[in-house]
Amino acid sequence: MFRIRIICRFAPRLEITKINTVEKMSRVCELTGKKAMVGNNVSHALNRTKRKFDANLMTKRFFIPEEDKWVTLKVSASALKNINKKGISAVMKEARVNGFLTK
């Protein structure tokens, strides 16, 4: 949805303004900082075209017993494995130290 407006009658210049747009959330793990990587599709003839490898992200709710509340996080599959191994409190503490988690 774009609105086009002509600024001046004698020197027509277009000003494009966005209306009613919703910004997308970034596809980044909130605990580990994993995000998309760039690589190549390689055909049988070895032709290479650029592609994007997205992180394996899921939106999950976790209960934090120390704070007695539920938190919704966008986490990668490897972060889920870390949570199962170390616990949600320890992983969130590491993420805050590394600067990934701001909640």
The C-alpha atoms of residue 31 and residue 59 are separated, in whole angstroms, by 12
In the chain, % helix, strand, coil (3-state, to 5) comes to 20, 35, 45
What is the arithmetic mean of pLDDT over 73-77? 96
Residues β-bridged to residue 4: 16
CB atoms inside a 10 Å sphere around CB 74: 17
Number of helices (H), then strands (E), in the chain: 2, 6
CB atoms inside a 10 Å sphere around CB 36: 13
pLDDT tens, residue by residue, 10-49:
655 555 555 555 556 789 999 999 999 999 999 999 999 9
* CATH number for the domain formed by residue range(s) 21-98: 2.30.170.40
Where in the chain are the domains?
Answer: 21-98
The DSSP symbol for 102 reads -
Token pair for 84: 């199962």
Res 71 pLDDT > 80: yes
